[in-house]
Protein backbone atom coordinates (compact mmCIF):
# COMPACT_ATOMS: atom_id res chain seq x y z
CA UNK A 1 0.00 0.00 0.00
CA UNK A 2 1.54 3.30 -1.06
CA UNK A 3 0.73 6.99 -0.87
CA UNK A 4 0.79 7.90 -4.55
CA UNK A 5 1.60 11.57 -3.84
CA UNK A 6 4.65 11.01 -1.64
CA UNK A 7 5.95 7.55 -2.53
CA UNK A 8 5.61 6.36 1.07
CA UNK A 9 5.15 2.62 1.44
CA UNK A 10 2.46 2.48 4.10
CA UNK A 11 2.36 -1.30 4.32
CA UNK A 12 4.34 -4.15 2.76
CA UNK A 13 3.56 -7.79 3.38
CA UNK A 14 4.38 -11.01 1.59
CA UNK A 15 3.83 -14.64 2.52
CA UNK A 16 5.05 -17.74 0.75
CA UNK A 17 5.55 -21.44 1.50
CA UNK A 18 9.12 -22.51 2.25
CA UNK A 19 9.92 -25.27 -0.29
CA UNK A 20 11.99 -27.21 2.26
CA UNK A 21 9.99 -27.04 5.48
CA UNK A 22 6.62 -26.29 3.83
CA UNK A 23 5.99 -23.67 6.49
CA UNK A 24 4.56 -20.26 5.67
CA UNK A 25 7.35 -17.75 6.19
CA UNK A 26 7.34 -13.97 6.05
CA UNK A 27 9.74 -12.56 3.47
CA UNK A 28 10.76 -9.29 1.88
CA UNK A 29 10.08 -10.78 -1.54
CA UNK A 30 7.96 -7.76 -2.52
CA UNK A 31 11.19 -5.75 -2.58
CA UNK A 32 13.98 -8.19 -3.41
CA UNK A 33 12.44 -10.76 -5.76
CA UNK A 34 11.53 -9.73 -9.32
CA UNK A 35 9.18 -11.80 -11.47
CA UNK A 36 7.60 -11.52 -14.89
CA UNK A 37 4.64 -9.19 -14.23
CA UNK A 38 2.25 -10.77 -16.71
CA UNK A 39 -1.09 -9.08 -17.30
CA UNK A 40 -0.58 -6.56 -14.49
CA UNK A 41 1.79 -4.73 -16.87
CA UNK A 42 -0.59 -4.18 -19.79
CA UNK A 43 -1.29 -0.62 -18.60
CA UNK A 44 2.30 0.43 -19.31
CA UNK A 45 2.08 -0.43 -23.00
CA UNK A 46 -1.30 1.34 -23.06
CA UNK A 47 0.44 4.39 -21.57
CA UNK A 48 3.05 4.20 -24.34
CA UNK A 49 0.31 4.21 -26.97
CA UNK A 50 -1.40 7.22 -25.43
CA UNK A 51 1.83 9.13 -24.84
CA UNK A 52 3.07 8.71 -28.41
CA UNK A 53 -0.30 9.29 -30.06
CA UNK A 54 -0.08 5.89 -31.74
CA UNK A 55 -3.01 4.40 -33.62
CA UNK A 56 -5.58 3.01 -31.19
CA UNK A 57 -8.23 2.05 -33.73
CA UNK A 58 -10.11 -1.00 -32.36
CA UNK A 59 -8.71 -4.39 -33.37
CA UNK A 60 -10.30 -7.80 -33.85
CA UNK A 61 -10.49 -9.99 -30.75
CA UNK A 62 -10.28 -13.05 -33.02
CA UNK A 63 -12.76 -14.91 -30.83
CA UNK A 64 -10.07 -15.49 -28.21
CA UNK A 65 -7.61 -17.43 -30.37
CA UNK A 66 -5.13 -15.96 -32.85
CA UNK A 67 -2.15 -17.22 -34.80
CA UNK A 68 0.24 -14.25 -34.84
CA UNK A 69 2.24 -14.05 -38.10
CA UNK A 70 6.00 -14.08 -37.49
CA UNK A 71 7.69 -13.11 -40.76
CA UNK A 72 8.88 -16.22 -42.55
CA UNK A 73 8.70 -18.39 -39.44
CA UNK A 74 5.77 -20.36 -38.02
CA UNK A 75 3.01 -18.24 -36.41
CA UNK A 76 2.67 -17.98 -32.64
CA UNK A 77 -0.61 -19.02 -31.02
CA UNK A 78 -2.05 -16.48 -28.57
CA UNK A 79 -5.18 -17.22 -26.54
CA UNK A 80 -7.35 -15.19 -24.19
CA UNK A 81 -8.97 -16.46 -21.01
CA UNK A 82 -11.97 -14.27 -21.81
CA UNK A 83 -12.57 -14.63 -25.56
CA UNK A 84 -13.62 -11.43 -27.29
CA UNK A 85 -15.51 -11.36 -30.57
CA UNK A 86 -15.71 -8.46 -32.95
CA UNK A 87 -13.69 -5.26 -32.61
CA UNK A 88 -11.98 -4.52 -29.29
CA UNK A 89 -11.17 -1.02 -28.03
CA UNK A 90 -8.08 -0.12 -26.03
CA UNK A 91 -10.23 0.23 -22.91
CA UNK A 92 -11.78 -3.21 -23.43
CA UNK A 93 -8.28 -4.61 -23.92
CA UNK A 94 -7.46 -3.60 -20.34
CA UNK A 95 -10.88 -4.47 -18.92
CA UNK A 96 -10.77 -8.03 -20.23
CA UNK A 97 -6.96 -8.36 -20.14
CA UNK A 98 -6.78 -9.41 -23.79
CA UNK A 99 -3.39 -10.78 -24.79
CA UNK A 100 -4.45 -10.78 -28.42
CA UNK A 101 -5.55 -7.14 -28.51
CA UNK A 102 -2.58 -5.75 -26.54
CA UNK A 103 -0.21 -7.64 -28.85
CA UNK A 104 -1.89 -6.10 -31.88
CA UNK A 105 -1.85 -2.60 -30.35
CA UNK A 106 1.82 -2.94 -29.41
CA UNK A 107 2.69 -3.25 -33.10
CA UNK A 108 1.71 0.42 -33.50
CA UNK A 109 4.73 1.37 -31.39
CA UNK A 110 8.39 1.23 -32.30
CA UNK A 111 10.45 -1.04 -30.04
CA UNK A 112 12.15 2.10 -28.71
CA UNK A 113 8.83 3.76 -27.81
CA UNK A 114 7.62 0.70 -25.97
CA UNK A 115 10.91 0.22 -24.12
CA UNK A 116 11.17 3.89 -23.11
CA UNK A 117 7.62 3.97 -21.74
CA UNK A 118 8.15 0.87 -19.60
CA UNK A 119 11.54 2.19 -18.42
CA UNK A 120 10.04 5.58 -17.54
CA UNK A 121 7.74 3.86 -15.07
CA UNK A 122 10.86 2.84 -13.16
CA UNK A 123 11.35 -0.67 -14.46
CA UNK A 124 14.85 -2.00 -15.04
CA UNK A 125 16.33 0.37 -12.42
CA UNK A 126 16.65 0.25 -8.64
CA UNK A 127 13.56 1.67 -6.87
CA UNK A 128 15.81 3.73 -4.59
CA UNK A 129 14.54 2.45 -1.24
CA UNK A 130 18.01 1.70 0.04
CA UNK A 131 16.67 -1.64 1.31
CA UNK A 132 19.35 -4.39 1.35
CA UNK A 133 19.03 -6.55 -1.74
CA UNK A 134 16.32 -4.49 -3.43
CA UNK A 135 15.85 -5.66 -7.01
CA UNK A 136 16.13 -3.59 -10.15
CA UNK A 137 14.32 -6.23 -12.18
CA UNK A 138 15.21 -6.82 -15.81
CA UNK A 139 14.39 -4.80 -18.92
CA UNK A 140 16.57 -5.34 -21.97
CA UNK A 141 17.36 -2.69 -24.57
CA UNK A 142 15.53 -3.24 -27.88
CA UNK A 143 18.87 -4.05 -29.56
CA UNK A 144 19.07 -7.11 -27.29
CA UNK A 145 15.56 -8.41 -27.99
CA UNK A 146 15.53 -11.84 -29.60
CA UNK A 147 12.92 -10.85 -32.19
CA UNK A 148 11.16 -7.48 -32.46
CA UNK A 149 7.85 -8.98 -33.61
CA UNK A 150 7.78 -11.59 -30.86
CA UNK A 151 9.29 -9.44 -28.14
CA UNK A 152 6.95 -6.48 -28.58
CA UNK A 153 3.93 -8.70 -28.03
CA UNK A 154 5.64 -10.54 -25.18
CA UNK A 155 6.57 -7.32 -23.36
CA UNK A 156 3.03 -6.00 -23.82
CA UNK A 157 1.68 -9.17 -22.19
CA UNK A 158 4.18 -8.87 -19.33
CA UNK A 159 6.81 -11.39 -20.37
CA UNK A 160 10.50 -11.14 -21.29
CA UNK A 161 11.00 -8.62 -18.47
CA UNK A 162 10.90 -8.70 -14.69
CA UNK A 163 9.78 -6.40 -11.89
CA UNK A 164 9.32 -6.57 -8.13
CA UNK A 165 5.96 -6.02 -6.47
CA UNK A 166 7.19 -2.65 -5.16
CA UNK A 167 8.15 -1.56 -8.67
CA UNK A 168 4.71 -2.50 -9.96
CA UNK A 169 3.04 -0.66 -7.09
CA UNK A 170 5.05 2.48 -7.84
CA UNK A 171 4.27 2.19 -11.56
CA UNK A 172 0.54 2.10 -10.83
CA UNK A 173 0.98 4.91 -8.32
CA UNK A 174 2.54 7.06 -11.05
CA UNK A 175 -0.61 6.63 -13.15
CA UNK A 176 -2.73 7.66 -10.15
CA UNK A 177 -0.35 10.58 -9.53
CA UNK A 178 -1.00 12.19 -12.92
CA UNK A 179 2.02 10.52 -14.50
CA UNK A 180 4.59 11.54 -11.87
CA UNK A 181 6.75 8.64 -10.66
CA UNK A 182 7.81 9.05 -7.04
CA UNK A 183 10.85 7.51 -5.36
CA UNK A 184 9.52 5.02 -2.80
CA UNK A 185 10.45 5.38 0.85
CA UNK A 186 9.96 3.29 3.98
CA UNK A 187 10.72 6.11 6.42
CA UNK A 188 8.73 9.31 6.92
CA UNK A 189 10.80 10.73 9.77
CA UNK A 190 13.23 9.91 12.58
CA UNK A 191 12.73 11.13 16.17
CA UNK A 192 15.10 11.13 19.11
CA UNK A 193 14.31 9.87 22.60
CA UNK A 194 12.50 13.12 23.44
CA UNK A 195 10.27 12.85 20.38
CA UNK A 196 12.03 15.62 18.47
CA UNK A 197 12.18 15.10 14.72
CA UNK A 198 15.83 14.82 13.68
CA UNK A 199 15.23 13.82 10.05
CA UNK A 200 12.26 14.01 7.72
CA UNK A 201 11.87 12.52 4.27
CA UNK A 202 11.20 14.91 1.40
CA UNK A 203 9.21 13.34 -1.46
CA UNK A 204 11.28 13.03 -4.60
CA UNK A 205 10.51 12.14 -8.20
Length of the chain: 205
pLDDT classification of 28: cutoffs 50, 70, 90:
confident
Confidence check: pLDDT of 22 > 90 = no
- The predicted pLDDT at position 204 comes to 87
Residue 15 has pLDDT above 80, yes or no: no
Least confident among 18-22, 74-78, 151-155, 185-189: 18-22
Q: Residue 82: pLDDT band by 50, 70, 90 thresholds?
A: very high
Rounded to two decimals, the pTM is 0.88
Q: Helices 42-52 and 165-176 meet at what angle, rounded to 10?
A: 40
Q: For residue 73, what pLDDT is reported?
A: 81
Decide the pairing of beta strands 189-191 and 15-17: unpaired
Of the two residues 187 and 158, the one the predictor is more confident about is 158
Question: What pLDDT band is residue 130 in, cutting at 50, 70 and 90?
Answer: confident
Please choose, from the candidates 107, 27, 125, 47, the residue with its C-alpha nearest in 3D space to the C-alpha of residue 71.
107
How far lies 24's CA from each of 27, 57, 95, 103, in Å? 10, 47, 33, 37
Does the pLDDT value for residue 54 go beyond 60? Answer: yes
pLDDT of residue 136 exceeding 90, the answer is: yes
Amino acid sequence: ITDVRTGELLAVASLRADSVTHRIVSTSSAIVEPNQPGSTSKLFTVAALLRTGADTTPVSGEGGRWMQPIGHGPPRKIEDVHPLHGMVTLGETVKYSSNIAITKFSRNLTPEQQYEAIRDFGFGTLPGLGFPGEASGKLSLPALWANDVLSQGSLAQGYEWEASAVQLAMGYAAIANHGVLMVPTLLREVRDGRGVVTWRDHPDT
